[in-house]
Chains A and B, each alone.
Chain A
Amino acid sequence: MASQKKKHLLPGFGLSLGYTLVYLSLIVLIPLAAVFLRTTELSWHEFCAVVTTPRVVATYKLTFGASLLAAVINLVFGLLTAWVLVRYQFFGKKVLDALVDLPFALPTAVAGIALTAIYAPNGWLGQWLEPHGIKVAFTPLGVVVALTFIGLPFVVRTVQPVLEDFSAEAEEAAASLGANRWQTFYKIILPAIWPALLTGFSLAFARAVGEYGSVIFIAGNMPMISEITPLMIITKLEQYDYAGATAIAVVMLVISFVLLLLINLLQWWSNHRHGNK
């Protein structure tokens, strides 16, 4: 044979790729295709009308805005939490470590009810915040709180192993070469954990966008103010408007996909840059 195929080091590439494709098709692609197919019941004009009503547009702003904000909060405090869990030894560390996973395991409705109970005007925290004019439950702020809660584990769990692998010697070397603390963090540590941070960020963001259960209890669900996009989808279904519901779902899918793609590109770009250094 003239054009010898490049041999893979590991055997079974064809078979495993086949499985991967079948699996992805069954679990992801076919259901998503059904969503797109269902919207074809609507004409293009109807589709645009459904997805651009002021009330629906207001929900996009809240859902994506609050998800982004929650992911940014988690980026900062998730990193801090991971740092503390990796770098320090203290009493009760194992318990704290286990607590991080709780938002994963908790049914989202339970999280929503618990958060609402705490932040409601008569709740533990709510009764102190209310006199200062800070309303959390039944406002968009409550949505951010719920989304921050459910997104917490993602950043911690993606950054933690990278930090664990990162040797303290590198920091010591930087220090002995004259770098101050900020320079050490910015020039040495951050580049190393940046890809993991971005992954955690995008996971937290993606999870927040699709969240329904926990938000619904704390949001108050006022039209134009505190309705999230998944609620609009449920609302359409409650009216037996399947096509309208899937139309909004498609818009959500496309926006999410584009945003995640952008984050991936950013990750690729930063890897590339640091790789070339």
Chain B
Amino acid sequence: MPFVLRSALLAVLFSSVSLQAAELLNASYDVTREFYKDFNPAFVQYWKEKTGETVTINQSHGGSTKQARSVVDGLPADVITMNRSADIDILAQKGKLIPANWQTRLPNNSVPSASPTVFLVRKGNPKQVKDWDDLVRPGVTSVIPNPKTSGNGKYSYLAAWGYITQKGGDAVKARQFVTELFKHVPVLDTGGRGATTTFAQREIGDVLVTFENEVYLLQKELGEDKYEVVYPSVTVLAENPVSLVDKVVDKKGTRKVAQAYLEFHFSPQGQALAAKHYLRPQVSEVAQPAFKKLHTFTVKQVFGSWNEAENTHFSDGGIFDQIYQK
């Protein structure tokens, strides 16, 4: 009896190991759902042709910070794909799940795709919004998600700040500008999709400040004739980094396939799929769709690092909090 039990246990153990070897969990943020619905089957096919193995990829989506927290708290994700490097840094800082230099392990600082922050206005652009300065004109209101709870909101805030400093303005000017800008924001939604709903369904605000890929998805969903995209003269480029979760892949024995999955993001096929979903490919030129050339900056270029940006602007009592203090 004990022998039977033991062998049964072993069988269960082995079968689960072999099962796990062919299964990946990708912890991602909210608006990549549509992208990974295309990307994952493409990788599965690629991996099958290359190795003969069948791999299953499971997706977990949610607010980016919430997802990162889940992984720190033990969600066994093999790979993490976020829209801010800070949400992957936390895996090194809090969970010791990955090495601190994780960004050096893949091409282009582990950033396969990116999306600039742009404006969406209502058809005909009734308020004649052309650039950041127009957002603080009397009578113009903008919908921006709360920078304290949303990566999208953080990028919008930093884009406005960077617009001033890139033009040669100093920190005092930039601070005045973002303070004025957020006085023109009637609703602070907790996430990017919430802001989109407020703008599109509730018809609140003249301008929605959000990622370019979100803008295109919205136009596809709600019709191209209802809104217009406005490209500001200068804006931030929101980079979407990816990483292995070392502790998880080593435990599950999935490092090889997880690594291949991430590298596939940088392959011509992966890059083309990103472009198809209006994410700007970062390592290779893709013909379609033609992205408008923009003057962009990254968070690193203007703010040094995400850590510094967080501490100065979004921490408790930071510059963003001071906007609302009377």
Contact = CB atoms under 8 A, between A and B. Distances in A.
Nearest to A56: B316
A137 B202 contact: yes
Interface in A95-148: 113, 116-117, 120-123, 137-138
A138 B69 contact: no
Contacts of B323: 223
Contacts of A234: 149, 190
Interface in B268-313: 310
Interface string A198-230: 000000000000000000110011111000000
Contacts of B190: 216, 221, 231, 234
A121 B65 contact: no
A231 B162 CA distance: 28
B107 interface: no
Nearest to B189: A221
B324 A224 contact: yes
Interface in A235-271: 235, 237-241, 244
A244 B321 CA distance: 16
A275 interface: no
A117 B201 contact: yes
Contacts of A138: 186-187, 204
Interface of A: 50, 53-55, 113, 116-117, 120-123, 137-138, 216-217, 220-224, 231, 234-235, 237-241, 244
Contacts of B189: 221
Nearest to B326: A224
A223 B316 CA distance: 12
A153 B33 CA distance: 37
B204 A55 contact: no
Contact of B146 (A53, A121, A221): A221
Contacts of A244: 316
Contacts of A120: 201-204
Contacts of A53: 316-317
B148 A238 contact: yes
A54 B325 contact: yes
B315 interface: yes
B194 interface: yes
A239 B201 contact: no
A89 B184 CA distance: 53
B321 A55 contact: yes
Contacts of B63: 238
17 contacts: A55-B324, A113-B197, A120-B202, A123-B202, A138-B187, A220-B186, A221-B187, A222-B187, A223-B188, A231-B149, A234-B149, A235-B146, A235-B148, A238-B65, A239-B148, A239-B310, A239-B315
B202 A116 contact: yes
B35 interface: no
Contacts of A235: 146, 148-149
Contact of A217 (B146, B194, B314, B326): B194
B94 interface: yes
B66 interface: yes
B151 to A, nearest CB: 9
Nearest to B93: A240
B315 A117 contact: no
A202 to B, nearest CB: 29
Nearest to A237: B69
Nearest to A235: B148
Contacts of A239: 65, 148, 310, 314-316
Given A121-B204, A222-B188, A239-B310, 19 more contacts: A50-B316, A53-B316, A55-B321, A121-B202, A217-B194, A220-B187, A220-B188, A221-B188, A221-B189, A222-B187, A224-B324, A224-B326, A234-B149, A234-B190, A235-B149, A237-B65, A238-B65, A240-B65, A241-B316
